[in-house]
Chain A
Amino acid sequence: MPDPETPPSAAGWLAMLIAQVRPACTLLATLAIITGIFYPLAMTMAIQQLFPYQASGSLVQDAQGTVRGSALIGQPFRAPQWFHGRPSATGETPCDPTASGGSNLGPTNPALAGLVRERVAALRAENGSFLGPLPIDLVTASGSGLDPHISPAAARLQVTRVAAARGLPQEIVEKMVTDHLEPAMLGIFGRPRVNVFLLNLALGSLPGAAAADRSP
């Protein structure tokens, strides 16, 4: 038994390292196969059986059976007849799932204030009849750029515009917003929110909606 207090010679160290090469390579290979191939493979097969909808991306179909997107991933909405989501900072185009990410603008970066001003101006122009305060989530970009949610206040302030653009009574649109309200889990975890993608999908499937959606 070598005394740990006296360090071995250089050759001793080298021999010590070389002695570990075989177990290192063998165990790396076996652990790689177990955790890098068997584990993800087995989890995929098991989870696909247990939760096929969630595991495949929570894909949502319209009435015709066409997949229109994922219930978890936001889409860009610009026309007045749709509810608009949060600003998105994903690269060239908003809400691009191939380039997820935030703006990374610092909290005191003047460019942040500049962008928020532009967004405020655009929101005021679109929603002329709404004079109340604008909720902060509607004028700031999310972390993923794919946030499908807005706050209930951010949805409600758009009701008048959407109803007018679609020629629908306000009450119907308002009720749809209320129906799509997701509360905090157990009243504690997370925040109340409205899924803009699911809300708009429901709007688009209202009888007679197709005509409104096509109009510019």
Chain B
Amino acid sequence: MIMLQAWIEIACILAITVVAACAIAPWLAAIFRVGAKDTGDAPTGLLQRCLAAIERPLLQAAGSWPVREMTAGEYGAAILVFHAAGFGLLLGILRLQAVLPWNPAGVPAVPWLIALNTAASFTTNTNWQSYAGETTLSPLSQTLGLTVQNFVSAASGLCVLAVLTRGLVRRTSGTIGNFWQDLVRSTLGLLLPLAILLAAALASQGVVQTFATSREVALIDTTGSPAGSAETTRRILTGPVASQVAIKQLGTNGGGYFNANSAHPFENPTPLTNLLEIAAMLLIPLASCLAFGRWVGDRRQGRALLAAMALLFLPFLLIIVHVETRPNPLLQADELLQSVDQGASTDHEGGSLEGKEVRFGAAASALFAVGTTATSCGAVNAMHDSFSPLGGLVAMWMIQLGEVVFGGVGTGLAGLIAYTLVAVFVAGLMVGRSPEYLGKKIEAREMKMGMIVLLVPPITTLIGTAAACVLRGEAAAAPNPGPHGFSELLYAFSSAANNNGSAFGGLTATSPFWTLSLAAAMLVSRMLTMLPLVAIGGSLAAKRTVAESPGTLPTHTPLFVLLVAGTVILVGALSFVPALALGPLAEALQPLPALIQKGTP
């Protein structure tokens, strides 16, 4: 009965998300002009006129008016320079926050290592946080520093998707759009309006949004701790939270205002905000698939990619919800804990509740976890470190699949299209026909670039994890004993190298090795996925379109959906099953009685 309610809750949240995605798909599709310049789609309609009115003054100021189409090389250069500028700005704000205005608590400059790590993290849409927001950052750093990157890093992801789509749509074109126009349109035309709506909705439920940053209250129970320390007050921290939480969810960024992220009652106070936050992180990745179908003029193509994502998502959703709502076997096996009721009833929640909030319950926390790792969001409403071994495995593997199951805003679908090209290529080899996707021949250059997109994140993850295990003392950053400690190391590099940002939070990643290697992992894999994708777009755009023939492999059929999903699973499994066997699988299989003996005081 309780599980039935949990499944209904999950089904409702997903259904609401799909409806919302269908609703915004036409809007998203209209943001970017994908066809070649001379093929028309002149600015008609209210949205187009609004976009034109917004972008014109900004692009004029930037010296990019009238808009000039870019080659893939120029587009890539623009992405690179823009990320470098964003990195510099954020690093500057973090280092100078002590002397900049709006620093009521007087927090000092962020230490160099943490500042470098954070700047890399937020410019790459990762939002890995090796600091606690409430004690490390001033409100100005949170808004002018982090919120800005939350917007523009997500917008850059959409730009990459637009380029790849143009590559498929345009014929013998030397150019693939203008990065600055795409950037302004996706930031101000899509993300900002959505963030305004979501921030208002979240705030109505209790997510704080205020200039006041701190309030001292006297405790109701002034008994003091058993140790006798006289603690009679608590300092409640507030700030401009709703505006940042809205974009951190919508932009699949995930960097919380507070350390506890969306588990914090001021970031996620009610089941309704939990619903909105889950829907928000899935919204744009889902809508991108539908918009893709509109862009390429065949909606079945978008639906097929969406189906491939859903096919990869739903089985893992079933697993994680199942294992997280089950009792923790360690506590269940403990003789002294037989009187603890871990089963759910109408009267109390059950399951693995360490690190989870009562208001959400275990099932909705598991849904949030699989959503945040499938998309590259990385916000958490429960502590993944305390998830059951198989629950943690699902979260970790969703990240390791390369963030293409919904994935990051723009980059997720773009990454899946790279997998699709590989699937087309493999299928072409099997039947002995030249591989094509949407009328474009897939040749050596696309495959080379596609392989970089596919292989850089796993290579970075595994080398980083291996280094952490081998280097003297660095593995000690993981506090939990046994295989779970290894999982903490593996999760950290998986998260950084796939630009997710969630963590097995027990890890103390503040040493020079950890801050710098994770920063490098984030930068390397972000750039070495975005730039090759732009290159694929450029090289596809230059090609002629091949007419469809009876021998063409249809790319909208269930068989093709299976082929794409199979390619993703194969690459993910071949790369990571050995590592997962050492971590979460070993943890799930280890004998419990020995552990209980150790737990005896």
Cβ proximity bits B327-357 to A, threshold 8 Å, 1 near / 0 not: 1101100101101111001111111111111
Find chain B residues with CB under 8 A from A19 CB: 74, 77
Q: In the complex, which range does the number of interface residues on chain A fall in?
A: 35 or more
Give Cα A151 to B485, complex, Å: 31
Give Cα A36 to B89, complex, Å: 12
Whole-angstrom distance between the Cβ of B427 and the nearest chain A Cβ? 26
Whole-angstrom distance between the Cβ of B103 and the nearest chain A Cβ? 15
Residue with the greatest number of chain A CB neighbours at <10 A, chosen from B269, B348, B388 = B348
| A40 B244 Cβ-Cβ under 8 A | yes
| A97 B234 Cβ-Cβ under 8 A | yes
| B358 A136 Cβ-Cβ under 8 A | no
| A55 B208 Cβ-Cβ under 8 A | yes
Give how many A-B residue pairs fall within 8 Å (CB-CB): 451
Partner of A146, one of B58, B225, B264, B506: B264
| B237 A97 Cβ-Cβ under 8 A | yes
Whole-angstrom distance between the Cβ of B92 and the nearest chain A Cβ? 11
Find chain A residues with CB under 8 A from B542 CB: 3-5
Cβ proximity bits B259-283 to A, threshold 8 Å, 1 near / 0 not: 1100111100111101100000000
Residue with the greatest number of chain B CB neighbours at <10 A, chosen from A37, A57, A76, A82 = A57
Whole-angstrom distance between the Cβ of A53 and the nearest chain B Cβ? 9
Cβ proximity bits A175-188 to B, threshold 8 Å, 1 near / 0 not: 00000000011011
Cβ proximity bits A106-135 to B, threshold 8 Å, 1 near / 0 not: 111111111011101000100000000111
Interface 9-mer from B379-387, B457-465, B566-574:
B379-387
Give Cα A113 to B347, complex, Å: 24
Q: Is B439 an interface residue (CB 8 A)?
A: no
Q: Is A1 an interface residue (CB 8 A)?
A: yes
Residue with the greatest number of chain B CB neighbours at <10 A, chosen from A69, A188, A189 = A189
| B484 A96 Cβ-Cβ under 8 A | no
Whole-angstrom distance between the Cβ of B306 and the nearest chain A Cβ? 25
Find chain B residues with CB under 8 A from A158 CB: none
Find chain B residues with CB under 8 A from A1 CB: 71, 174-175
Partner of A35, one of B5, B192, B386: B192
Give Cα A100 to B364, complex, Å: 21
Residues of chain B from 1 to 39 with CB closer than 8 A to chain A in the complex = 5, 8-9, 12-13
Q: Is A168 an interface residue (CB 8 A)?
A: no
Find chain B residues with CB under 8 A from A67 CB: 215, 217
Contact flag A149-B357 (CB < 8 Å), given A13-B73, A40-B143, A113-B596: yes
Q: In the complex, which range does the number of interface residues on chain B fall in?
A: 35 or more
Partner of A101, one of B132, B487, B600: B132
Residue of B nearest to A56 (CB): B210
| A35 B151 Cβ-Cβ under 8 A | yes
Cβ proximity bits B207-250 to A, threshold 8 Å, 1 near / 0 not: 11111100101111101111001010011111010111001000
Give Cα A27 to B183, complex, Å: 9
Partner of A7, one of B61, B73, B240: B73
Contact flag A117-B184 (CB < 8 Å), given A4-B542, A145-B260, A146-B260: no
Find chain B residues with CB under 8 A from A139 CB: 340
Residue of B nearest to A32 (CB): B148
Residue with the greatest number of chain B CB neighbours at <10 A, chosen from A2, A23, A124 = A23
| A108 B348 Cβ-Cβ under 8 A | no
| B359 A104 Cβ-Cβ under 8 A | no
Residue of B nearest to A152 (CB): B347
| A31 B184 Cβ-Cβ under 8 A | yes
Q: Is B64 an interface residue (CB 8 A)?
A: yes
| A148 B265 Cβ-Cβ under 8 A | yes
Q: Is B481 an interface residue (CB 8 A)?
A: yes
Find chain A residues with CB under 8 A from B209 CB: 43-44, 47-48, 55
Q: Is B292 an interface residue (CB 8 A)?
A: no
Contact flag A77-B220 (CB < 8 Å), given A2-B71, A27-B183, A30-B58: yes
Contact flag A142-B356 (CB < 8 Å), given A47-B203, A120-B339, A136-B349: yes
Interface 9-mer from B402-410, B516-524, B556-564, B587-595:
B587-595
Pull 8 A–B residue pairs with CB atoms less than 8 Å apart, ordered by A.
A34-B192, A43-B209, A70-B266, A77-B221, A99-B132, A103-B386, A106-B385, A107-B484
